[in-house]
Structure 1
Amino acid sequence: MKRHQTLFLLLVLLCVVGIGSWMLRPWDALEKKWGARQQEVVIDRYDRVLDEYVSLNSYTALGRMNTQYPMETKLLIEDVLKLGPVNDPNAEQRLRHYYLDSTVQVLLDEVHRQYGDMSDIEADFSRVFEELKQKDPDFRVPHVYTQVSCLNQSIVVGDTLIGISLDKYLGADFPLYADFYTQEQRAQMNREFIVRDAINAYMQFLGN
């Protein structure tokens, strides 16, 4: 029953999403009704840790990937990039060589340029999750992180986990997209669609 209630609430939230904006009540109204905010999302920049490992061959960054981000690393290597088992002795070097490709480096550079600040997206996630928590106290707020998927999956979801592939949201006019996607597909590959896509994917996951 709780799962169905949560799915219904997520569906309602998706229905009130406007193109490029969330038609939810402002924070002042929420705080007046419910008091101080209970949930503020801070997006975990896993993409930066990965880039540090790739660009500097940093064993410190690699250690963080394996200890601080084991599930994120496993999903990236095994499910997104399909580079084989994460426990393969050569998995990390295969991963690094993959990201050193010149095309992937273009994606990484553009992600750095466009997503130095994600406070607007964090605020959108916070609003949605706050609504859900207030209506269903048993709703478990997922951990949200970012990655660069080399134009593979846009959103990765798991048990209380949402991964955002920032390289899939560089704007409809990003030159590299024209080689791989139709005009209709490119129209959806903008910053303002990140939260919508993430919530939709997580809703589908909860329904499984």
Structure 2
Amino acid sequence: MEKNFLLQIQQQMTTNKSTIILWVLVLLFIGCKQRDRFYISKFEHPVKVEIQRFDVDFIALDTSNTLASLKALEQKYPGFYSLFLRDVLLMQLTDSTNNAFQITNFLNDSVFRQVNQKVKDVFNNTKPIEQDLAEAFSYLHHYFPDKPLPDIYFFVSGFNHQFLVADTILGVGTDLYLGVDYPLYPDITYEYLIQNMRYEMLVPDLITTWLHQIFPFQGKDDVLSHMLYEGKILYLKETFLPDTPKNLLIGYEPTAIDWCKTHEKQIWASMLGNKHLFSTRQLLITQLIHPAPFTSPISSDSPGRLGVWIGWQIVKSYMQNNKNVGLSELMNDHNYQQMLEQSHYRP
């Protein structure tokens, strides 16, 4: 009797173990199926990224001899230094004495000394950022070998500048990614923008900025074209940053993603019913595409940039239903009305 009971338990445990293994295999299969089209497990020519810490060297300037320190900084960063002074600090390159005076005042200002120290603390370890950027740029180089890859620079500007883009230079103002709770942010910008001024958003924002640079907008200046253009950018980001949460790709809170999924059918119906898609009104394009506390033509309860989110869903539907289309073909296609038709998008 006892032997039979133990045998039954052993058989049940074996059955449970087999069931667990089966489910693990199913989940692994599903995960592979979701990634197998553009996902790359190992790159033939991986890209290495080494961030240029101009921000740290700028903060560390010897303000007792600023003019000489700036000359040394220029020698270390010859391609970036003049761009930084001209485009970020808005200084005249020929007026070195006055530039040194203003920079000394900035670096010795009690408020910005605290800000700059916070930058050093938050971005003390840039290895995770370099790894994420290396993966994204390895994807870019694999699928678009003719597109340039940028050199990455960090800088500080007293909250004055977020990005600096020129040729193969991509700079980012690290003082604008210190965290949603950073106490000075409410004094310089709107609350709805602060949610994305955090460490986790720096890589997605950098990738967005570079993709906009190398794939500039082309097409009709109407709502649909802007929606699907931004949708294509997000589709690339989703491919190039496969482990980044979807909400960070678009700059939403997780609850905003949930809201969009719940109301996707109503959002699309509103756009169709109000004949938004082929409108060329710049105000409407701005309301649907640009950052805002909510998307005013749709709902005051919505997140901003609903046009971008819907554009993303349309592009995903298009790529799902047109397996012969590669990433290069996608980015070279500017016939957005045809893309919508061939997407068979039906939320």
- Between structures 1 and 2, the one with greater strand share: 1
Task: Give the distance between the partners of 1:196 and 1:173, measured in 2 at CA.
Answer: 20
What SS does the corresponding residue of 2:60 show, helix, strand or coil? helix
Shift, 1:81, TM fit: 1.9
Task: Give the distance between the partners of 2:68 and 2:107, measured in 1 at CA.
Answer: 18
The residue number in structure 1 matching 2:93 is: 86
The residue number in structure 1 matching 2:47 is: 39
Shift, 1:78, TM fit: 1.7
* Distance 1:198-1:171 versus aligned 2 partners, 3 A rule: same
AA paired with 2:125? Answer: D
* Distance 1:55-1:118 versus aligned 2 partners, 3 A rule: farther
Partner of residue 41 from structure 2, selected from 26, 30, 43 = 30
Do the aligned residues in 2 keep the contact of 1:156 with 1:163 (CA within 8 Å)?
A: yes
Trace 1:88-127 onto structure 2 (pairs within 5 A). 88-90=95-97, 91-127=99-135
Do the aligned residues in 1 keep the contact of 2:141 with 2:147 (CA within 8 Å)?
A: yes
Do the aligned residues in 1 keep the contact of 2:159 with 2:176 (CA within 8 Å)?
A: yes
AA paired with 1:135? Answer: Y
Shift, 1:55, TM fit: 5.1
Task: Give the distance between the partners of 2:35 and 2:140, measured in 1 at CA.
Answer: 12
Shift, 1:92, TM fit: 2.5
AA paired with 2:92? Answer: P
Task: Give the distance between the partners of 2:77 and 2:95, measured in 1 at CA.
Answer: 17
Q: Paired residues, what number?
A: 180
Question: Is it true that 1:167 corresponds to 2:178 in the alignment?
Answer: no
Higher normalized contact order (CA 8 Å, seq sep 6+, divided by chain length): 1
Do the aligned residues in 2 keep the contact of 1:155 with 1:197 (CA within 8 Å)?
A: no
**Unaligned regions of 5+ residues in structure 2, if any?**
1-33, 218-347
Partner of residue 80 from structure 2, selected from 68, 72, 75 = 72
Shift, 1:40, TM fit: 1.4
Task: Give the distance between the partners of 2:131 and 2:162, measured in 1 at CA.
Answer: 20
Task: Give the distance between the partners of 2:124 and 2:205, measured in 1 at CA.
Answer: 20
Same amino acid, percent of matched pairs: 26
Shift, 1:77, TM fit: 1.8
The residue number in structure 2 matching 1:7 is: none
* Structure with max Cα Rg: 2
AA paired with 1:85? Answer: Q
The residue number in structure 2 matching 1:17 is: none
Segment drifting more, 111-120 vs 197-206: 197-206
**Unaligned regions of 5+ residues in structure 1, if any?**
1-22
AA paired with 1:204? Answer: H
Task: Give the distance between the partners of 1:157 and 1:140, measured in 2 at CA.
Answer: 13
What SS does the corresponding residue of 1:30 show, helix, strand or coil? coil
| Two-structure CA RMSD over aligned residues (Å) | 2.5
Scaled by the length of structure 2, the TM-score of the pair is 0.48
- Could you report, residue by residue, the CA deviation over 1:94-132 in whole angstroms, capped at 9, with x for unpaired residues? 222222212211110101111110111111110110001
* Distance 1:180-1:58 versus aligned 2 partners, 3 A rule: closer
Task: Give the distance between the partners of 1:203 and 1:165, measured in 2 at CA.
Answer: 18
Shift, 1:186, TM fit: 0.7
The residue number in structure 2 matching 1:131 is: 139
Scaled by the length of structure 1, the TM-score of the pair is 0.77
